[in-house]
Structure 1
Amino acid sequence: MSSEPDGVKPSVNGLTSAAAARLLDEIGPNELRVKSEKPAWRLLVAQFNSPVIWMLFAACVVSTLVGEVLDAAAIGTIVVINGLVGFFQEYRAEKAVIALRAMTAPRARVIRDGRTQAIAAAAVVPGDLLSLEAGDVVAADARLLEANVLSAMEAALTGESTPVTKTAQPGVPNAPLAQRSDHVFAGTVIATGTGFAQIIATGMHTELGRIAGMLAAATDESTPLQTRLGVLSRRLMIICLGIVIAVAALGWRQGLTGMDLLLPAISLAVAAVPEGLPAIVTIALAVGMQRMAARHALVRRLTAVETLGCATVICTDKTGTLTTGIMAVREVWGQDHLRVLETAVGCSDAELSLDEQGGIGDPTEVAIVVAAAKRSIRLIEIEAERPRASVYPFDADRKCMSIYRMDGILYAKGAVEAISERATVIPPGAGEAAADMAARGLRVLAIAIGRVDRETDLELIGLLGIADPPRTEAIDAIARAKAAGIRTVMITGDHELTAHAIAQEMGILQPGQAAEDVVHARATPEDKLRIVQEWKSRGEVVAMTGDGVNDAPALREAHIGIAMGRTGTEVTREAADIVLADDNFATIVAAIEEGRSIFENIRKSTAYLVAGNMAELAVVFVGAALGFPTLLLPIHLLWINLVTDGLPALALVTDRGTSTVMSRPPRPVHEQILGGPEWRHILLAGAIQMICVMGIFLWARDTRDLDEARNLAFSVLVFGELLRAFSARDPDRPFWEVGLFSNMKLLLIVVASLLAQLAIHHMPATQEIFQISALSLADCALSLGVGALPLLVLEVEKLVRRRFP
């Protein structure tokens, strides 16, 4: 809690410049120490911190040591390209967030040496006297010495959506932050009135700084995708090492030595290493990042997109996220609605904007003048026709305000109880209507008129129900999230009645449901952090949204932190993984949909890639076990992995999500990228491919020489892998139902790769590099026919599985 600075006494003249300079030197500038920007080199190094990358580096080193420089160069190139893609995506995101930053309060007006001075907010010190007026951003925590109709918007700090009335009257010591009416706080905005306040805390000692300091205690955890990739990589490494050792042992028992022994082992290592996996994951996340940017979401970390796809709970702020963040007249009660609005406008000071969609002044009065303007009632016309004679401004004691005009009418508005005490005429049902509005979370204003220039003998003519209305698209998004098995939890600094009413209207709180499960009102920063931690302790994947500094610790603690780009503070954006450019809850649900689609694409692309590697492993292993000469050279396997496997896999990850992606519950947090169904598919596809390749090799070996047999085996494996990519698009539907032309990238890549395979068989330079020969027209047809068999078998298996589930 902020406290009075030792040795600093209030003075109408303020501090002297010398005293201020001394304090600034002792205490330091009035700035927040937020998380420092990651240097570019750290972003780059982070791209290579992966077991798969380490495995690729190991294969690269081994290939270099045994003289296979071309293989090593190809592997190294893929690793570097993959790292650069990830680096540039995250670097661009970091720079975009930096561009969003703005100083909390760039300038402040203080009294020093007996006169008012405008200085940099960073230069204010405890003891300075702040001069405050409507529109000012408060530079530091301060105790009010004078307050004239002063109110402040404290939503960024407390979550309270309406202006808080301020007074110089000392408050209750150690009161909760939202109830300290005699203080103003750094980062909040003065809504109305004027005042003077003495600064009592600056920088990290302010309430804003205290919350920023809590970020250091929050943990950075591995995302679900990173965890799954780590598990998959370790499994593949174990499989690779085991088979390499087994083949080397078989060769040694057969009396092989030197390169004759090492070549099959190196071939297996190249076959087993999924060179395309890091690129697939990076491209999938980058594509998702670009799609989200088009939907107003800036993704700061690539893995954040997929992690959202695992979300089971969304903890969301209310003001500005579920609601518009702009107060509006939701309901008018009274016999004559036009008269009620005209009277309310006649007792307002807000200025209507030119487009009549907003204004300047107290948010409640802005809501009134906007609602009235829609019915052709404008304050500027009232002022011209009925000028003011006297004004009784609002204060916290009277809880009302009034303006007496030259037409002899007193226009008044205020709290229901305050107006009722001064009214002699109250229409039937007014009390019940006010209670009903309040129970539904509306802020109720009583509107009255009088016939004399004082607030007595009033006639209550109507009521206005004012609130921050919900976004209609957010209501739909919450329903979509619920259908997808995702729970929405609202955390707000607003009053309990308001919070419950909005939660019911949004569909978050259902009839008969315990409110404490999904609605948390008057929440402090510590409460928000605790709520996120409780959901995490239950094994839930938590997304947390917010815009105020009070949300930042919870954003950092959550699996995925989502900050508001328009209204969010600098500290909040620093803590977030995703920044919403439109501050819209519906964008979060769109991000979840994108995340689920990305995981589907990563899963099917990985299954396709590993199935191809398994086929290559099986061919080399079975050939070595049967004592055959090396069927496929390392350069052949590298070509298959990087070109005929890798490129189609990259096209697969650009697929759009299926229409059912948001009708299924969230994936279990520990579900692996490759589960039981995927491994069964991998083994089936690998076995069929191996049978086709071994079959063509054995047939050609009996009728032709070894080079021609190897030539055919190589081409059949390439053609088979390319054509099988069409089957990989959907695990349940055959490719003709998915649509051959619905992913033109894949179709073009497959056709181009088929032509490239034919080209390397007929170009002298590539014939020498790959140690292959030309294919006759008959051999081309034979290779394509045999290569198409795995595709046909897999599609038939889908139809059988559909018929006999």
Structure 2
Amino acid sequence: MTHPSATPAQQSGHAGLSSQEAQQRLAKIGSNELVRESTTPAWKLLLGQFNSPVIWLLFGACLVSAALGEVIDAIAIGTIVIVNALVGFFQEYRAEKAVLALRSMTAPRARVMRDGHLQVIPAALVVPGDILVLEAGDIVAADAHLLEANVLSTLEAALTGESTPVGKSTKASAPNAPLAERCDHVFSGTNIATGTGVAQVTATGMQTELGHIAHLLSTAKDESTPLQQRLAALSQRLMLICLGIVVAVALLGWKQGLGGMEVLLSAISLAVAAVPEGLPAIVTIALAVGMQRMAARHALLRRLTAVETLGCATVICTDKTGTLTTGVMTVREIWGVDQRQVLDAATACCDADLSEDERSGVGDPTEVAIVVAAAQRGIKREQIEAVRARVSIYPFDADRKRMSIFRSDGVLYAKGSLESLAGQASLIPAGMMESAAEMAGRGLRVLCVAVGREDRESGLELIGLLGIADPPRTEAVEAIARASAAGIRTVMITGDHQLTAQSIARELGMLKPGEDPGETVHARATPEDKLRIVREWKSRGAIVAMTGDGVNDAPALREAHIGIAMGQTGTEVTREAADIVLADDNFATIVAAVEEGRSIFENIRKAIAYLLAGNVAELSVVFIAAVMGYPPILLPLQLLWINLVTDGVPALALVTDRSSSSIMNRPPRPASDPLIGAREWRGIFFAGALQAILVMAVFIWALEARSLEEARNLAFSVLVFGELLRAFSARDPDRPFWEIGLFSNMKLFLIVVLSVMLQLGLHHIPATQKLFSIGAISLADCGLSLAIGFMPLVVLEMGKVCRRWWLTKAHGFPAAPSQPGQ
């Protein structure tokens, strides 16, 4: 008989490798570590951040400001360029951070047999052929084939998505068995839940299953977001328009015989009028507001653009466990003549401990579910232990598929698979086999409960069945329905069993009775499967959001347009690969975040439309004046003031608007839908032309009766007041501002009021008079400017009222909010 203190490996005679052989293998194969694959040099990544039309547009604004001698403006815009480039640069390292996080999952130390003795060595020195000695609580150092297993089980959810501990044995698995069913192997990075074992290492480092996922993670693609693509397209268009008009005016001035300085002044004025300097700040503030609102709804963003990207999602690929379900095993059904007796017997055959709140516990998740259900009926395991002490135990193992405890009351309490316990029983109660099959068919894990009168597992009496499962979240049902109403398809991708996945999908309303699961439910999915599914949806033009919590989800999260990690149950690897982290691991939070994302996009769209309408007005005024031979109506510094202050600041307030109640009743925006659609462009040109006509009319009228300075004063004030007041109309393309509420966006109201007062102050402060080349404005001219400035707002709001009347009367149906961009 061997000494009790000997290790399992020593007891079985596993001597392991010699130190010399281990050194030779280490030199040949390399360290047991996850390595970074080839990456783009840092300097190339940094330079690549400047290869963007948005950055070119900012550079243009910076150069214009510098040309005008506005050093502060040039520095401010240049700072924005640098900050944006640095943010993009650091985003490129997210994949490498994810690989580093993968490294943290590997065991820092390992117990191995070397030279016939048990040694503790750094996990990096483990080589194929080493004999690992495993105990509960260990992190497995490498992939290994089991030589011995004593009540051994591992937690593999991070790799496979399997929600319960996986029982291990030395019984050979099928050659092509899925990872979750390879019970004769243990895998690097997983945890030993119970028992002890001895295993021979088969793969280390990047050759392990964990290393394979690290490789997939490095091959997954990071793509520009829909918002970045739309902004790039818009910026290119604006640059071409700006360049074309500047060249045209310069040629026109040269043909008219104007001096070089006059031509330069006109060209610079046009460039300033064409470049919306407030655009980068508006987009950044809009996304930051969305980030704050999503954080309040338990969705934490790791990068700003993820706000808008989620808003245009068309497919949400989601894990099951913990996201659509509670993540906690629960006794959902009890079959038997005396249900209390069934729970009592099952609890008497448990090792799990109940927590103080009696809603959770410590131990095997299935046993925790049993003791929680029993406690709800007044059955406490600690009382059973006190009154009916244990005499002997037959522990569970993967081969027997049952466990039993003989207690001092002379009763043997047993639980396990029905097939296992039925073989030890003299009689199977009527209806038990049919009920077990029906429960299993609905995705429940079925446990049979039995009692005996002797200290042996024979002659048992089968008294009942327990149906255990991870139940769906109640709020997930409503969330999936909301997503469906919003035109978003929900796809379940899980490592769990097909029957379990389909059952949960039907409970959640994802699958209708008789409907083919097809593309809606994917069970037993490997990391490659998840990556393939995401890529297939992307190839169809879908905007894909992918959720996950395990290491096996990380490559798909990185590949998806928007990766969503679980904050409570997710691994560090998953969080590093994701764009959004859910603080509550709740699918309903994803749908709430989609709503915020849609709202942010609409706010960005209307703010940019508001800005561009102002640019069109300014361009039109400068261009028409040049064509008609008038002196410049608006000077470059005055245009900068309008763009950066009286246009930009109200636009910042516009992006804080709350979403409309109908935003989740619309289909997702098509991927080809531009940031500014045909309808927005029509509105931009109409509002811009309207303001330009009013400004030109006031300037020409004043120039005939007054001096050039007074004419410029009036034109400057009319344009500023018109654009400020038009901000109220820009809040909604269909509803007049009085229906929305003048004070429903108090920030905008206060900004408009303060900006009007500030504009009036410019005309009466000597320093600003000199800076902007303007003079004092009389009370009468102030009233005239405000009155004319109100006209665009009145015309635009009356247009909304007329359009509604036309839709309701002429076509005979209520006017619903039209789809923006059409």
Deviations 1:616-637 (A, max 9, x none): 0111111111111100001010
Q: Secondary structure at 1:655's aligned position in 2? A: coil
Q: What is the TM-score when the length of structure 1 is the normalising length?
A: 0.93
Match of 1:69 in 2: 69
CA distance in 1, matches of 2:770, 2:30: 70
Deviates more, 1:761-770 or 1:603-612: 761-770
Change (3 A) 1:381 1:211: same
Match of residue 452, structure 2, among 441, 450, 453: 450
Letter paired with 1:74: D
Structure 2 residue 92 is the aligned partner of structure 1 residue 80 = no
Deviates more, 1:47-56 or 1:604-613: 47-56
Gaps of 5+ in 1: 1-9
Deviates more, 1:625-634 or 1:246-255: 246-255
CA distance in 2, matches of 1:594, 1:93: 26
Deviations 1:587-635 (A, max 9, x none): 2112211110110001000000000000001111111111111000010
Structure 2 residue 778 is the aligned partner of structure 1 residue 776 = yes
Change (3 A) 1:116 1:567: farther
Change (3 A) 1:518 1:693: same
Match of 1:270 in 2: 272
Deviations 1:727-780 (A, max 9, x none): 111111111111122212212221221122112111111111100011111111
CA distance in 2, matches of 1:571, 1:37: 19
Match of 2:653 in 1: 651
Change (3 A) 1:221 1:89: closer
Match of 1:103 in 2: 104
CA distance in 1, matches of 2:356, 2:102: 29
Match of 1:706 in 2: 708
Match of 1:732 in 2: 734
CA distance in 2, matches of 1:329, 1:123: 44
Deviations 1:549-588 (A, max 9, x none): 2222222221111122332233323322222232221221
Match of 1:422 in 2: 424
Match of 2:207 in 1: 205
Where do 1:235-634 residues align within 5 Å?
235-634=237-636
Where do 1:184-199 residues align within 5 Å?
184-199=186-201
Q: In 2, are the aligned partners of 1:44 and 1:83 still within 8 Å (CA)?
A: no
**Alpha-carbon distance, 1:505 to partner:** 0.8
Letter paired with 1:103: S
Match of 1:7 in 2: none
Letter paired with 1:626: M
Match of 2:165 in 1: 163
Q: Secondary structure at 1:775's aligned position in 2? A: coil
Q: In 2, are the aligned partners of 1:144 and 1:196 still within 8 Å (CA)?
A: yes
CA distance in 2, matches of 1:329, 1:288: 40
Gaps of 5+ in 2: 1-11, 808-822
Q: In 1, are the aligned partners of 2:50 and 2:85 still within 8 Å (CA)?
A: no
Deviations 1:312-366 (A, max 9, x none): 1111111122112221111111122111111001111222233333223222112
Change (3 A) 1:100 1:15: closer
CA distance in 2, matches of 1:43, 1:372: 59
CA distance in 2, matches of 1:648, 1:442: 57
Deviates more, 1:468-477 or 1:81-90: 81-90
Change (3 A) 1:432 1:519: same
Match of 2:697 in 1: 695
Q: In 1, are the aligned partners of 2:58 and 2:81 still within 8 Å (CA)?
A: no
Where do 1:725-804 residues align within 5 Å?
725-804=727-806
Q: In 2, are the aligned partners of 1:144 and 1:197 still within 8 Å (CA)?
A: yes
CA distance in 1, matches of 2:276, 2:450: 76
Q: In 2, are the aligned partners of 1:310 and 1:666 still within 8 Å (CA)?
A: yes
CA distance in 1, matches of 2:101, 2:738: 47
Match of 1:5 in 2: none
Q: Secondary structure at 1:762's aligned position in 2? A: coil
CA distance in 2, matches of 1:326, 1:125: 37
Q: What is the TM-score when the length of structure 2 is the normalising length?
A: 0.91
**Alpha-carbon distance, 1:83 to partner:** 5.3
Letter paired with 1:670: S
Q: In 1, are the aligned partners of 2:65 and 2:73 still within 8 Å (CA)?
A: no
Deviations 1:46-104 (A, max 9, x none): 7755313312323433554xx5212x642441342475489679979999x99998821
**Alpha-carbon distance, 1:665 to partner:** 0.7
Letter paired with 2:104: M
CA distance in 1, matches of 2:470, 2:47: 46
Deviations 1:20-56 (A, max 9, x none): 5665555444333368999999998777553133123
Q: Secondary structure at 2:758's aligned position in 1? A: helix
CA distance in 2, matches of 1:91, 1:59: 25
**Alpha-carbon distance, 1:299 to partner:** 1.7
Deviates more, 1:22-31 or 1:619-628: 22-31
CA distance in 2, matches of 1:651, 1:143: 62
CA distance in 2, matches of 1:92, 1:315: 23
Q: Secondary structure at 1:517's aligned position in 2? A: coil
CA distance in 2, matches of 1:291, 1:24: 52
Letter paired with 1:194: T
Letter paired with 2:541: G
CA distance in 1, matches of 2:203, 2:651: 57
Change (3 A) 1:397 1:77: closer
Change (3 A) 1:291 1:508: same
Q: In 2, are the aligned partners of 1:82 and 1:278 still within 8 Å (CA)?
A: no
CA distance in 1, matches of 2:532, 2:594: 24
Letter paired with 1:795: E
**Alpha-carbon distance, 1:440 to partner:** 0.7
% identical equivalent positions: 68
Q: Secondary structure at 1:515's aligned position in 2? A: coil
Letter paired with 1:337: Q
Q: In 2, are the aligned partners of 1:388 and 1:404 still within 8 Å (CA)?
A: yes
CA distance in 2, matches of 1:302, 1:16: 54
CA distance in 2, matches of 1:15, 1:588: 51
Deviates more, 1:85-94 or 1:718-727: 85-94
Match of 1:231 in 2: 233
CA distance in 2, matches of 1:640, 1:48: 27
Letter paired with 1:394: F
CA distance in 1, matches of 2:48, 2:297: 27
Q: In 1, are the aligned partners of 2:49 and 2:88 still within 8 Å (CA)?
A: no
Change (3 A) 1:22 1:354: farther
**Alpha-carbon distance, 1:662 to partner:** 1.0
Q: Secondary structure at 1:324's aligned position in 2? A: coil
Change (3 A) 1:35 1:710: farther
Deviates more, 1:389-398 or 1:584-593: 389-398
**Alpha-carbon distance, 1:708 to partner:** 0.5
CA distance in 1, matches of 2:88, 2:382: 52
Q: Secondary structure at 1:152's aligned position in 2? A: strand
When the two chains are superposed, the root-mean-square deviation of aligned CA atoms in Å is 2.7
CA distance in 1, matches of 2:346, 2:427: 17
Change (3 A) 1:311 1:135: same
Q: In 2, are the aligned partners of 1:102 and 1:570 still within 8 Å (CA)?
A: no
CA distance in 2, matches of 1:73, 1:36: 42
Deviations 1:683-733 (A, max 9, x none): 111111111111111111111111110111001111111111111111111
Letter paired with 1:730: D
